[in-house]
């Protein structure tokens, strides 16, 4: 799965950009209900970010339900 790179030159934090990208992918049906998202390592590689950034984005997604 090829995911877009995030913009490291914008003032919007990378974890927030990643959270929005994941929300958009979920809403677009890239992952079906009940299907697991890729693991932290895969998401970090796909988006070109650190695992810490991935964890923060996932934490915020989980907080949103």
Q: How far apart are CA 32 and CA 17, in angstroms?
A: 21
Q: What is the pTM of this model?
A: 0.86
Token pair, residue 32, equals: 């079906």
φ, ψ (nearest 5 deg) of residue 11: -70, -10
Which residues neighbour 37 within 8 Å (Cβ) at sequence distance 6 or greater? 22, 31, 43, 58
The tens digit of pLDDT for each residue in 17-64 reads 999 999 999 889 988 878 888 999 999 999 999 999 999 999 999 998
Torsion angle, alpha carbons of 30, 36, 41, 47, to 10: 20
């Amino acid at each position: 799965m090829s995911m877009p790179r995030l913009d490291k030159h914008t003032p919007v934090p990378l974890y927030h950009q990643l959270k929005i990208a994941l929300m958009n992918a979920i809403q677009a049906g890239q992952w079906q209900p009940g299907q697991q998202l890729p693991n932290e390592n895969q998401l970090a590689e796909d988006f070109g970010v650190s695992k810490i950034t991935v964890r923060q984005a996932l934490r915020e997604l989980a907080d949103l339900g």
